[in-house]
Amino acid sequence: MLTSGTSGVLRQFGGLEWIILLIIVALLLLFGPSKLPEFARAIGRAWGEFRKGKMEVEREIRQEFAREEGGEATATNDEVLKAARELSVPTEGRDFREIRLEIAKAIDRADPPKIVAVARAFALATEGVGTERLKEQVIRRLHV
């Protein structure tokens, strides 16, 4: 028979504690006390391999973003002129540095269809890319 102290402890167990206790008992019954350390080691190794794989994927993603950010080419003069036409930026009597600066200013005020048109003028991928990201890519290509 349970004493009042033992029944008080059992009442403090919630649903999650009972589930964990049942899992431990089931593991002991299935594998026995001698196999349980082996099972725990195997789970630990699997968890370590998972973490190592996750870190490798994260490292590759960071490298790809760094490559993308640092490896972009400067826009050609033809691309700059196409973008200027799309944004109605005047080009007569101006050097390309001034035109690039004006495009960078105009792209910030442009509506989404104009932003997509300018991105296409720079041969940037536009499918599934938000307008803010396209603005950033255009400005990076301008190197202003």
Task: Quote the mean pLDDT of the chain.
Answer: 82
Summarize pLDDT for 83-92 with one digit per residue, the tens.
888 899 988 8
Q: Would you say the pTM of this structure is higher than 0.85?
A: no
Closest CA to 122 of 68, 65, 81, 88: 81
Task: Look up residue 90 and give its DSSP letter.
Answer: -
Do 137 and 69 contact (CB within 8 A), yes or no?
A: no
45 pLDDT band (50/70/90 cuts)? Answer: very high
9 pLDDT band (50/70/90 cuts)? Answer: low
Q: How far from 55 is each of 48, 52, 99, CA to CA, in Å?
A: 11, 5, 43
Above pLDDT 90, what percent of the chain? Answer: 6
Do 141 and 72 contact (CB within 8 A), yes or no?
A: yes
Mean pLDDT of 73-99: 86
